[in-house]
Amino acid sequence: MPKLSKGTVAFIVVFLVIIIDQASKIWVKTNMFYGESIEIASWFKICFVENPGMAFGLEIGGKLFLTLFRIIAVIFISYYLFLLVKKGYKNGFIACIALILAGAFGNIIDCVFYGEIFSASTPSHIASFVSIGEGYGDWMHGRVVDMLYFPLFNGTYPSWFPVVGGDQFIFFSPIFNIADSAISVGIVLLLIFYRNTLSESMQTQKPDEKK
């Protein structure tokens, strides 16, 4: 079997993540009520929510700012990935950056297009595709679809714990999507296996010194 080129590796990772991410979001969006939850296991649920912010529901700045920030980030990451491929970095390192790029791009699709092509999702109405201009929002103002929920265990903070003592908690409470997962996995793998390579890639060296 012929060895895949570095550019092909990057393309396959980005393509597969985006396809799986968008397929899962569209299925949830067009088959579930907003807030509906499907229990797969006691520690894993498909729970449909939407968020206007960053990964894992974080909200920073206005919606348009967040969308533009994502687009600019994807442009920079795309160029960085192009340079890595051109300079012959290892496939594992390229795959990590490709995961981050694919995750960022996957959420951009929601932000840019979903407001225009989907009707609103509510607890009493399942969204559907609509003609452009008849959706729940404008271009660049779509909401990101999240659905992966892992409430691994419930507990109660000790009574002596400051502020939240005696309150119940759920670990792990964020609801996220495939794109968020790709970004997180890419970053974790970079930190574990490619910290030095990442640092070197930011420096100006000859291509054959970086392999």
One-letter amino acid at 164 equals: V
Residue 21 designated active-site: no
Contacts of 117 (CB under 8 A, 6+ apart): 129, 130, 132, 135
User: Per-residue confidence at 17, pLDDT binned at 50, 70, 90?
Assistant: very high
pLDDT at position 207 = 47
pLDDT tens profile 190-208? 999 999 999 988 885 444 4
What is the average per-residue pLDDT within 104-113?
A: 95
pLDDT at position 22 = 98
Query: How many CB atoms are located within 10 Å of the residue 165 CB?
Result: 11
pLDDT tens profile 132-165? 989 999 999 999 999 999 998 888 878 887 877 7
Distance of CA 177 to the CA centre of its chain: 6
Q: What are the helix (H) ranges across the chain?
A: 6-31, 63-86, 91-109, 115-117, 178-193, 195-201
In the chain, where the domains are located: 6-37+49-150+176-201
Is pLDDT larger for residue 157 or for residue 24? 24
What b-and-e string marks burial along 122-160, b requiring 16 or more CB atoms within 10 Å of the CB?
Answer: eeeeebeeeeeeebbbeebbbbbbbbbbeeeeeeeeeee
pLDDT at position 54 = 56
pLDDT tens profile 57-96? 455 556 778 888 889 999 999 999 999 999 999 999 999 9
DSSP state of 208: G
Given 110, 146, 167, 208, which residue is catalytic?
146
One-letter amino acid at 176 equals: F
User: In angstroms, rounded to a whole number, what is the distance separating the alpha carbons of residues 52 and 21?
Assistant: 17
pLDDT at position 62 = 64
Average pLDDT, the chain: 89
Name the nearest CA neighbour of 121 among 113, 129, 109: 129
Residue 110 designated active-site: no
pLDDT at position 51 = 87
Phi/psi of residue 168, nearest 5 degrees: -85, 155
